Amino acid sequence: MAKWGEGDPRWIVEERADATNVNNWHWTERDATNWSSDKLKALLLGLSVENDEGKCEVTEVSKLEGEASINNRKGKLIFFYEWNLKASWTGKSKSGVKYKGTLEVPNLSDENDMEDLDISVALNKDEPDTPLTNLMKTKGAEKVREALGSYVEFLKTEFTQGMILPTANGMAKPQSTSQSKAQTDRTQISSSGSTAAPVNTGVKIPTCKFSMKETFLTSPADLYRVFLNQEMVQAFTHAPATVDGERGGKFRLLDGNVFGEFTDLVPDEKIVMKWRFNNWPCEHYATITMTLLDQSSETELKVECRGVPDNEEERTKEGWKRYYFEAIKQTFGYGARLF
């Protein structure tokens, strides 16, 4: 049997919008590794539990090794995934004392049920004993299990869009199977503002472009730093965020509902990025260009958005106004004049 990515081109074919893979007969494969890595981080980062002793939160996914792929043969989807992950958590007692620890999951795989996952929780060696460790071992581990179950569910629904191509009769009958005894975990999570992703049948989705302008009572240099500094992003979003403020650096904010990559940076003048909502069709990004214009005592920010799905235009506009423009002004005082 041919190895993944090295198959005989007569048998392994690409998915195509013109339905070349008639009746889904040929074996098609899609690599889900990068998508899975992003999805797992989005589901785990910021995950928190709390009781009378205090609160614990997953603050970093420090190790994520493995792979994932999906195969389509005769309209039947076969899922392969295997992950070994390690994360860091931080606890804070009611008295304000902070603790740090780790959690590991070595066997997230299509061969294991969610109930069979090994979730190991430990306190860092130099930390004193705390009841918060038990909180993470019980409620924390259960939340991690639910999040990983949600990853499997998203893999089988969100990422598979477009893998079952139209048949000769114009219809597709998708089926799903797994290489193991594992049953599909039905755990679902909800995030504020999220909606079901549009169905993608392999055809380019209709998109739109629009622009917005906003004025901030600060210098271009200060406003530029707001978008690229992780601590400042966490301040105006009021949530954990990951921001690598360099060209090619990635960002993730608002509980993983927004993420992307900085593609071009001109200090204090321009920021260009690949940007998307978590529930957009998999691997579809809009291009956001932010231009900062110095207007003496204030800065005019022009935001140009290209490639936004048509049905997401209003939501995207409202999101930028609420979670970027208004939040930045309220957090840093860039909307009020001081006399």
How far is residue 152's CA from residue 306's CA, in Å, rounded to a whole number? 31
For 304, phi and psi rounded to 5 degrees? -105, 125
Most confidently predicted of 3-17, 70-84, 272-286: 272-286
Distance CA 285, CA 277 (A): 8
Burial classification of residue 223, based on how many CB atoms lie within 10 Å of its CB (0-12 exposed, 13-18 middle, 19 or more buried): buried
What CA–CA distance (Å, rounded) separates 284 from 336?
37
One-letter identity of residue 65: E
Which position has the higher pLDDT, 170 or 111?
A: 111
Report the number of secondary-structure helices (H) and strands (E) in the chain.
Answer: 7, 14
Q: What is the mean pLDDT of residues 308-327?
A: 92
The one-character DSSP state at 192 is: T
Instruction: Give per-residue pLDDT as tens, 101-112.
Output: 999 999 899 888
Domain residue ranges in the chain: 28-156, 207-332
The pLDDT value recorded for residue 4 is 37
Whether the per-residue pLDDT at 307 is higher than 50: the answer is yes
The mean pLDDT of 274-291, rounded to a whole number, is 90
The tokens for 124 are: 């860092």
Give bridge partners of residue 216 from the DSSP assignment. 299
Looking at per-residue pLDDT, the higher value among 196 and 332 belongs to 332
Distance CA 302, CA 137 (A): 47
Mean pLDDT of 184-201: 36
Name the helix (H) or strand (E) containing 319. Answer: helix 313-319
pLDDT (tens digit per residue) in 174-191: 444 444 333 333 233 233
Give the pLDDT confidence score for residue 12 in this predicted structure: 42
* Res. 235: pLDDT tops 80: yes
pLDDT the model gives residue 97: 93
The region of weakest confidence among 100-109, 271-280, 330-339 is 330-339
pTM for this prediction: 0.47
216 vs 329: CA distance, rounded Å: 7
* pLDDT, tens digit, 9 for 90 and up, residues 138-161: 999 999 999 898 888 888 777 666
Among 121-130, 183-192, 226-235, 306-315, the range scoring the smallest mean pLDDT is 183-192
For residue 86, is pLDDT > 60?
Answer: yes
pLDDT of residue 177: 44
Q: Within the chain, what is the greatest distance between any pair of CA atoms? A: 75
Q: Which residue has the higher pLDDT, 3 or 29?
A: 29
CA dist., res. 157 & res. 166, Å (int): 17
**Residue 65 or 74, more confident:** 65
How much of the chain exceeds pLDDT 90, in percent? 49
How many whole angstroms separate alpha carbon 108 and alpha carbon 163? 24
Q: How far, CA to CA in Å, does 102 sit from each of 59, 62, 148, 230?
A: 10, 9, 17, 22
Whether 87 and 61 have beta carbons less than 8 Å apart is answered as yes
pLDDT class for 75, splitting at 50, 70, 90?
A: low
152 sits in which H/E element: helix 141-157
Kindly give the pairing relationship between strand 270-277 and strand 286-295: antiparallel
Choose the weakest-confidence range: 72-86, 117-131, 186-200: 186-200
> So what CATH class is 28-156?
alpha beta
Does 198 score more than 70 pLDDT? no
Average pLDDT, integer, range 208-225: 94
Query: Residue range 275-289: average pLDDT?
Result: 89
Residue 106 burial (C-beta neighbours within 10 Å; 0-12, 13-18, 19+): middle
Which pLDDT value is given to residue 6?
A: 42
Are residues 110 and 149 in contact, defined by beta-carbon separation less than 8 angstroms?
A: no
Mean pLDDT of the chain: 79
Q: What is the model's pLDDT at position 162?
A: 54
User: How far is the C-alpha of 226 from the C-alpha of 327, rounded, in Å?
Assistant: 11
**What is the CATH number assigned to the segment(s) 207-332?**
3.30.530.20
Q: What single-letter DSSP state applies at residue 21?
A: S
Spell out the residues 6+ positions from residue 54 whose beta carbon is closer than 8 angstroms to its own.
91, 92, 93, 94, 131, 132, 135
What single-letter DSSP state applies at residue 228? H
Q: Give the helix/strand (H/E) hosting 135.
A: helix 132-135
